[in-house]
Structure 1
């Protein structure tokens, strides 16, 4: 693996935590490329995330998501992942090898306030599973895979970007 590949920044976290929004601004500030892995999935499958989940089921969606994320090759890129990327160990191992994984952490209450209809958003949620269940299930995975944890609670976008840059410079 070349040193350049380690220059990527991979954003993980719950749906609604701001991965895509923060990612675009962070990429602009750093002169990096921006990649949204959810969009890569939709391009590959020629369907919306919600359509893939509805037509194929969650297990197949998780497989597709892992395949796409495990195949990302980039240099000097900010990569915003889907919230369920942490269910794919191969994808997470690959992402950790090509860059620094940054977990954008928000409280359950803040996530609940930000999210609307989970199904319409293409959120990978099992039947009968609540947002609270999903949050409690994923938090340990985000913490496990993250190189850096950023508390984005009650922060302006520009402040979150600034904190990420400062933390990355300290590595």
Structure 2
């Protein structure tokens, strides 16, 4: 969860917005054209969990055969307003990170993963766990609110402050995923 960088914009965690799925869907259609080799585009992150408070930024993951092919021609994504942030996840060669601002505010995070990366499945698992376990979702929400209150001017410190709870929930999600329990 670290690696997002520090921006001058404040960290804001807001109530769930029922328009988030539609915002994702509109962006998914645009991205389908910009990433013709994509194997799938999904809504991930807190805005993908119904009822969960979140930063009002739509997190999107796209799975592609090769991230280097996307990196070789970023023009279609640039035309949509996406800016590549190569230093966000420098140690992960299977992961490209791009951001999009709308009306001067961060509106989307795009994570492009190579098909061999395990991250997309973990993102799906985490989303499913929070969606089906309201208590876990509330714990994550509380951690996000505390982190935003403590670090309203630093995305990096915000991410670090909620990381312990995120990792605890991810461990629970992995165990849940292996057990097949509801």
TM-score by length of 1: 0.31
More strand by share: 2
Q: Which has the higher contact order (CA 8 A, sep 6+)?
A: 1
Larger radius of gyration: 2
TM-score by length of 2: 0.29
